[in-house]
Structure 1
Amino acid sequence: MGLKSFLSFSFKILLWVLSPLSFLYQVLFWIDRRRTKPRKLTNCYVISVGNLTVGGTGKTPFVQFLIRDLKNHFPDFHFTILSRGYKARLSLQGALVESNASPMDVGDEPLLHKQTFPDVQVIIGSDRFQSYQTFNQYKSSKHVVILDDGFQHHKLYRDFEIVLLDANHLLGNGFTLPLGSLRETRQALLRAHAVVFTKWNEENAEKVDKFESNLDGDFKRIPRYHSKFTPELDAKQESADMIRSYFLVTGVGNPESVMKSAKQLLGSKVIAYKYFSDHYSFQEKDMHAIIADLPSSTALLLTEKDWVKVSILTNFLNEAKEKRISIFLIKIKLEMEELQQFNDVIVSRVSSYVKENALD
């Protein structure tokens, strides 16, 4: 038996073993959704941003794009980001996130959002309804709430549902967990008011076009948009030494996407790397071990989400400075290809909410 035949046979065995688990996952998810009655947040317009698959789809840069976009159109509105606070110590009891909070207490993404938008209210809690009731400071109805990673959070009613699909992976192999990367079946897309393809570029455009052309029935009626990611470098700690090598350190859901952005920025330069698990809580010992043998001509590359955790490691930062090791952040700028069409929909929906509630 050749290698190709062996791998095909092994996959069939794996499919046979895991298919019942995948089916059971779907059944349990369906039951949970059927028995959950969504609760409505009062005096606000709720927009959910979520994924159909596990792994990084670029939700963080999209949420920040959405906040900036809506603030431009509704400058007198308040904005809130409501998040579970994944792996945060205060997730169970809930918290109102402050800019100087500990990332271990409130989570890396919520803290990044708060530091990026100091005037935006960021609330975390595994029980998002109760956390909102407890910590919301805004009484005005001129208020938009972004439900972060909300597609599978059935406990809250949302007025507008946005689903993100990574243009590089789309629906993966088409199977739900644990056979594939889908959190729900493809049919779940029918709940979406808009689908946004993230990381769309020349390399995957043909694949996305084929995916869209194969949509049929009700799927074709879902508005679809395409967004590009443009990486930028931001120096946080620079050495006077000429940089001769780069070292990427990251703990995100899709590290290969970060590496691709780094190579796009740095051209043909060789980039060494160390990947950690998603939402990894960096410790002094982790960073000390990484720079122990690095020459002073090296630059460390981090994402913004990693930086909120690394930036509080003062001993490491001092050691890196002494060793003349530079630190750069890879920032992602999201550009919506069909921005006008997207705004025609989302701005119209929020404007309708304004009129219905006589908020002019």
Structure 2
Amino acid sequence: MSRTFKAFSMNPKVQFPTQFPGAKDGASGHPQGPRLHPWMGPWFVPLSALWYAILATRHALYNWGLLRSERSLIPTLVVGNMELGGTGKTPHVMDLANRLEARLGEGRVGILSRGYGRRSASSFAWVADATGWTDVGDEPWMMQAHTPTIPVAVCTDRLAGLRKMRHDKPELKVVVLDDGLQHRKLRPHASVALVSRAVPRLGLGSLVPAGPWRDLPRRLFQADAIVATQRGVDLGPNEKTMGATTVVLEPLKRLHGMQDEAGPALLVTGIANPQRLVRSLGGHDVAGVAHYPDHHAFSEADVLAWRQWGETHGIRALLVCSKDAVRLKPLLDKLPGWTCWEAPMGLRWNDEARLNAWLDSWARSLP
């Protein structure tokens, strides 16, 4: 079925080619933060109450010392959130790791990730030794590509992973963990909590599955630093607040094809919160958007659907973010005559002086 798609604009909203198999119907450029998942709602409050009791009991057992927390021998900075995905952990991890490397020196900072979506979920692996992204996960592979002087490793067991990193690279002075605020077995040396929405007072009806919070909202303020990742999130007067960050679009990179300039393109996303990317592309001619689930494994069938849509609408360009580019690169030869552009995303801190002061103080305290 032929459909006409308007060029990208914030008003009216982007139209989404939902005829693509596996694509989702949601996502817009709405500026007020990520939407709830469609299956969430107040009818799940009884289940959320049960989850609240489980979380409260678990945290109490750790706080009372009945369950053991261990601090690794190598200093750690955990970057995480209390919500379901989409708060931008990965760009914050890379940004903070780069800032620490500038203070401590090359080869002194590492990154440890769980490696979601990889083939072997339990074993430790250095990303630089992997043969492809499926061995370590798309996000660690992307982080290693964008931070080549910072060794990136993956391991589900954070403590075991940290021990292995220290054994293999004793010169490391600090490891930044991608996610891990809920991993209470590890007691981090410092922690940064990211938040993309207003913090509820009680949180019972905000916990999954009724809402988007996967942990007790009050635990947000137990972190050493708190960062708002969406505009309009008011954290109130709090000495731990590091201000807010804005995702900014960096110059496009041509991944495939011969086209010198980015013309009308099909934007393809497979990330948890595409709204941030959509907002950043306001100056580009986006003819349509296909949003797939987070970590979606793109297939030849997906590429064929894009080609057919492109032939119908006269579009021969693809636009993807850096994480999606990792999973899409092996399929780019299936798009003859197309040009694929990568849209790298960076961070802008609205109170960089405060962040730098906090990092300077913490870096000086490291052994």
> TM-score, with normalisation over the residues of structure 2?
0.79
Residue from 275, 283, 287 that aligns with 1:265: 283
Q: 1:270 to 1:82 in 2, by over 3 A?
A: closer
Q: Which runs of 5+ in 2 are unaligned?
A: 1-40
Residue from 289, 305, 326 that aligns with 1:308: 326
Q: Which residue of 2 aligns with 1:319?
A: 334
Post-superposition shift, 1:223? 2.9
Question: What is the rounded CA distance, in whole Å, between the counterparts of 1:243 and 1:97 in structure 2?
Answer: 31
Q: 1:253 to 1:240 in 2, by over 3 A?
A: closer
Could you list the per-position Cα deviations for residues 292-314 of structure 1 after superposition, in whole angstroms to 9, with x for gaps in the alignment?
A: 3414643101110011111123x
Question: What is the rounded CA distance, in whole Å, between the counterparts of 2:304 and 2:46 in structure 1?
Answer: 45
Contact map agreement 2:108 2:174 (CA 8 A) in 1: yes
Contact map agreement 2:262 2:341 (CA 8 A) in 1: no
Post-superposition shift, 1:241? 8.2
Q: Which residue of 2 aligns with 1:5?
A: none
Matched, 1:222 2:229: no
Secondary structure at 1:335 match in 2: strand
Question: What is the rounded CA distance, in whole Å, between the counterparts of 1:113 and 1:143 in structure 2?
Answer: 19
Residue from 159, 163, 184 that aligns with 1:133: 163
Higher RCO (Cα < 8 Å, 6 or more apart):
2
Question: What is the rounded CA distance, in whole Å, between the counterparts of 1:112 and 1:325 in structure 2?
Answer: 23
Question: What is the rounded CA distance, in whole Å, between the counterparts of 1:188 and 1:139 in structure 2?
Answer: 33
Question: What is the rounded CA distance, in whole Å, between the counterparts of 1:270 and 1:93 in structure 2?
Answer: 40
Residue from 336, 349, 355 that aligns with 2:362: 349
Secondary structure at 2:347 match in 1: strand
Amino acid at match of 2:254: A
Amino acid at match of 2:44: L
Matched, 1:184 2:215: yes
Q: Which residue of 1 aligns with 2:181?
A: 151
Could you list the per-position Cα deviations for residues 32-65 of structure 1 after superposition, in whole angstroms to 9, with x for gaps in the alignment?
A: 33254222211x2210100121121111111111
Contact map agreement 1:91 1:124 (CA 8 A) in 2: no
Alpha-carbon RMSD across the aligned residues, in angstroms, is: 2.3
Q: Which runs of 5+ in 1 are unaligned?
A: 1-13
> TM-score, with normalisation over the residues of structure 1?
0.80
Post-superposition shift, 1:318? 2.1
Q: Aligned residue pairs: how many?
A: 315
Alignment of 1:177-256 (within 5 A): 177-199=208-230, 204=231, 207-208=232-233, 211-213=234-236, 220-232=238-250, 233-240=252-259, 244-256=263-275
Question: What is the rounded CA distance, in whole Å, between the counterparts of 1:50 and 1:37 in structure 2?
Answer: 21
Q: Which residue of 1 aligns with 2:353?
A: 340
Q: Which residue of 2 aligns with 1:280?
A: 296
Report percent identity of matched pairs.
Answer: 27
Q: Which residue of 1 aligns with 2:126?
A: 96
Post-superposition shift, 1:157? 1.5
Structure with greater helix share of residues:
1
Contact map agreement 1:242 1:297 (CA 8 A) in 2: no
Post-superposition shift, 1:119? 2.5
Post-superposition shift, 1:172? 7.8
